[in-house]
Homo-oligomer: A and B are copies of this chain.
Amino acid sequence: MFFKIDRNYFIEEINKCNRIIDYKSLSPNLTGILVEVTAEKISLISTNSNFSIKTSTNNFENGLEIKEAGTMLIRGKYFLEILRRMDDEIINISKVETNLITLSGEKSEFTLNILDHLDYPLIAFREKGTVVELDSSELKKALNQTIISVNEWNQKIVLSGLNFSVDNDIFYVTGTDGFRVSRKQITLNYPLEEKFEANIPFKGVHEIIKILSEKGLCKLVLQDNYLSVLINETIFQVNLLEGQFPNVNSVFPTDFNSTIYVENKKFVKLISRADIPSEENLSTVVNLILQGESIFIKSNIQLVGSFEEEFKEFELRGLDEQNIYFNSRYLLESLKTFETKTIEINFIDAKKPIVISSSEDLSLSQIILPMSSN
């Protein structure tokens, strides 16, 4: 095995693979990155118990010049550290013995031990199945806006990740922990005939967010119990969560008694003042009282003190009386997912969930269950 490649490009690719490696793995080979060099291309593969990644580069792209095919299993962490300390634009990698490679630039030369690639598991990457094509940045935004409602450690396994589903030409991303629901809709370019339903584990969602770029398209491919995300020459494949995701449509209230329209930034600042940090860094219970032309926000934290503020910069539709208690963090996290100038908070009464939305962007809804006043 012998090839040349652009150093900065190689750092990026190894970094993608290195990020998912579980260095606490009991099998030392799983802490390696498999490098497969054929006459046409080089592929890097890494895996952990939940997901796998494969990223490829064709010969003559990104400075790649393949002189001799072969396979090696490198220690990604050290490789990255070393590559970052080198100066050269192009580096040479060559296998000198079964378990030894040289990594060299113009003047410096590293001789590095490698792992045994024969012990590496064979990973099947699925590129065919039910396909949904999406704008990368739109999907990235949707994941960031909905992951807030997911509790990674939820005892109900199916809730410990995000749900992807398609209804005709609408792609839904939904997250819930039982106390709140985040839902985002993305309109597809064409309706999908097949059923598409996948539950992506929390950590997988965060990895997908990292590999999604700001522009271009990505493909989601569903097959068996796997979802593959294809972006250019990179495939990220995740094992899905098992179970039936609850039908959250049924919890979405539609008839409201009061709707307040506020400038989101101001409201976020107001609620963050009420969210007084406590000794144990717990979230605060915030009391929102709508009374005529004022909203009073009150909170109280044992040992630290209390807060009160009168807020008048809002418009109201419907009933001008509400008295409702919230978890301050849930409210803050929901508000912060909106990039719109104004938002709407819809109330029924003190015991029914509130819905946060914005007429400037109908694709996103956040639902929060109120707390009991005691």
Contact = CB atoms under 8 A, between A and B. Distances in A.
Nearest to A273: B85
A85 B269 contact: yes
Contacts of A277: 77-78, 81
With a 10 A CB-CB cut-off, give which of A75, A87, A112, A311 has the most chain B CB atoms.
Answer: A112
Contact of A109 (B81, B108, B304, B309): B309
Interface of A: 75, 77-78, 81-82, 85-87, 100, 107-113, 269, 272-273, 275-277, 303-311
Contacts of A309: 107-109
Contact of A81 (B77, B86, B276, B310): B276
Contact of A307 (B109, B269, B273, B305): B109
In the A-B complex, the 4 residue pairs with the smallest Cβ-Cβ separation, listed nearest first, are: A112-B305, A108-B309, A85-B273, A111-B306
A304 B81 CA distance: 12
15 contacts: A78-B276, A78-B277, A82-B273, A85-B273, A85-B275, A86-B273, A107-B310, A109-B307, A109-B308, A110-B276, A110-B307, A111-B305, A111-B306, A111-B308, A112-B305
Nearest to A109: B308
A30 to B, nearest CB: 16
A343 to B, nearest CB: 19
A113 B304 contact: yes
A275 B100 CA distance: 19
